[in-house]
Each structure stands twice: as structure tokens, then as C-alpha cells.
Amino acid sequence: MNKIAVFTSGGDSPGMNACIRAVVRSAIYNGIEVYGIRRGFNGMINGDIFRMESSSVSNIIQRGGTILKSARSKEFTTKEGRQKAYDNLKAHNIDGLVAIGGDGTFTGANIFYQEFGVPTIGAPGTIDNDLYGTDYTIGYDTAVNTAINAIDKIRDTADSHERVFFIEVMGRDSGYIAIPCAVGGGAEIVMIPETKTSIKNVVETLQTGWSRSKTSFVVVIAEGDEEGTAVEIAAKVQKEIPRMDARVTILGHVQRGGSPSAADRMLASQLGIACVDGLLQGRACEMAGIVNSQLVYTPFIDTITKEKAINPSFSQMISILSV
């Protein structure tokens, strides 16, 4: 392995820059030439590939987003697209790839390896924390902190006015973001896809709270909840409790940005180094992750197909803590 390239793909997440930096510097440390590819698989197809030096990644560890930009690529789902991508890598003599992204990215890299034999090692870059093979994904800790800081601000206002706030957080089909937001944000109710919380439960919890003279409530809703969006859920509850003074907040893309937290910088740095090490060890189609404080490599296929269950005791914590 003499030349490798790094790219980011899929939704961006805080810490991707820290990971790029670690890949670049670790490659140089190991005497390998390193290239950057812009806009994920699209840049591979279009030849948007450039040499990176140590100074290319100076002063980026603290910055959100990704200096390599990210995109989803339709063309890479075609054989012709992948052929073009391969030709461009070949032209630069690039013989290994580091992909920072999620399951869509790893699926593409898997096919690419089967067809063209270019090995990819992946780092889990997504705020959703829904990838098997690592306890935490890069960006998750930052996204949760961002959401909790927003909830803190909303709670100031909730306490001042005695309202019910319905706050929607990200997380695709999982409650990984919602759970710590609810615990850390001091929420009275959390609604996640993994467990069923009916509108009736919500109504009862609110009414029990009022009867015990609680004055303000925060309901944290994962975007994938089966009862609908925060707007829809608030409307359903309002129908049952017409006197309720409700407000809806959808945190949205604010959660994807921002300077990465300490934990995300550390994780991104460790995994960036591990990706380069993995390529040097002859690995292919594996994701570097940290499980129980240990570095592990997991086949892409497992990260995509195996499920990472959320700790069931976490939902119960909300009931205890809002007593």
C-alpha cells in the first residue's frame, strides 16, 4: 500500500474533519501518500481528487462539517459510474480507500471492492449512532450535546410560562439521540421508535403531573416515532387536552453542525488512525469502531445488517427521574 485516498459521504457529522486529519497525518506518519476526494463517490467519478499534506489539515480538528464536502451519488449505483471512479483512482495509483460515512457509504464500498478489488476501511460518521460495530459513531456525542443545550434554553421559557413543549430531535429510525436528550434535558416524556408510547400515555402523564402541581413539561420525540412528527403528536394531545398551552420545536439541521465535542474529537482521531492501520494490515470492507473501549474491525455487511439494540433500561429512567 503506497497511496490511499480519504472521502466523506452521506449526511455530514461533527468530527468528520478530525477524522480526515487523523487519516492524513497517520498516512504521512506511516510513509504513505494520501489524497482527498471531494463530494464522496461523486468526486471519485468526476476525478475531484487532490494530494493532501500535513498542512492541508491544520486547524480543522475543531470545525464542524467536512472540508471534503459530502454528497449522495446516484451515478455510483451504476456500473458505469463505478468504472469511471475506478479509472480515476487507477490514474492516481491509489490502492486503498478510507470512507467516513454510514451504511449507504459502506454498501457502495462493498460492491466496489467486489468489482474492482480496491479495499476500503470505513469510519462511522453519522450523528444517528445506529451502526452496529461501534458503541458510538462520530458526531453522535456532539449532536446530543447540541440538542440538550437547545432543550435547556427551551426549558428556561417553559418554566417561566408553564407550557408543554414538544421537541423533535433527529435519529432516523432509532431513539439513540432522543434518549439522552430526554434524560439530560430533564424531560417528562420520551417517544422513540423502539418502544410504543401511546397518546393516551402522554395525556395521562401530563394530567398526573398537573395534579402533582408540576407546571411545565418537556416531551422529547425521535423523528422516527410511530405516532408521527412532533407537530402531529402535539395536535393529537391538544385534541385530548384543549386547555394545554403547547409549543412545538423541531431542532433540525442545527444538530448536524457545530464544533465537535471532546469525545467526538478523540473518537474521530482514534478511528482515523485505525482506518489507515487497517489498510496497512491488509483489511478490506471493514469498519473501525470502539466497543467496550477496545478497537474492533467489523465487516461492512455486519454493520449494515445487524441491529444495535438500545439499552431498554434507559426508557425507564425517564419515568423515575420525572417522578
Q: How far is CA 233 from the centre of its chain?
A: 25
Nearer to a second copy, 77 or 249 (CB): 249
Shortest Å distance, C-beta 32 to a second copy: 12
Is 126 annotated as ligand-binding? yes
Nearer to a second copy, 8 or 88 (CB): 8
Shortest Å distance, C-beta 11 to a second copy: 8
> Residue 193 and residue 171: Cα distance in Å, rounded?
10
Nearer to a second copy, 47 or 65 (CB): 65
Shortest Å distance, C-beta 266 to a second copy: 5
Is 183 annotated as ligand-binding? no
Nearer to a second copy, 111 or 195 (CB): 195
Q: Which amino acid is at 229?
A: T
Shortest Å distance, C-beta 117 to a second copy: 28
Provide the annotated active-site residues: 128
Shortest Å distance, C-beta 79 to a second copy: 25
Is 127 annotated as ligand-binding? yes
Q: 3-state SS of the chain? A: CCEEEEEECCCCCCCHHHHHHHHHHHHHHCCCEEEEECCCHHHHHHCCEEEECHHHHCCCCCCCCCCCCCCCCCHHHCHHHHHHHHHHHHHCCCCEEEEEECHHHHHHHHHHHHHHCCCEEEEEECCCCCCCCCCCCECHHHHHHHHHHHHHHHHHHHHHHCCEEEEEECCCCCCCCHHHHHHHCCCCEEECCCCCCCHHHHHHHHHHHHHCCCCCEEEEEECCCCCCCHHHHHHHHHHHCCCCCEEEEECHHHHHCCCCCHHHHHHHHHHHHHHHHHHHCCCCCEEEEEECCEEEEEEHHHHHHCCCCCCCHHHHHHHHHCC
Is 99 annotated as ligand-binding? no
Is 243 annotated as ligand-binding? no
Dihedral pair phi/psi, residue 130, rounded to 5°: -105, 25
Is 128 annotated as ligand-binding? yes
Is 155 annotated as ligand-binding? yes
Nearer to a second copy, 130 or 141 (CB): 141
Annotated binding site for substrate: 126-128, 163, 170-172, 223, 247, 253-256
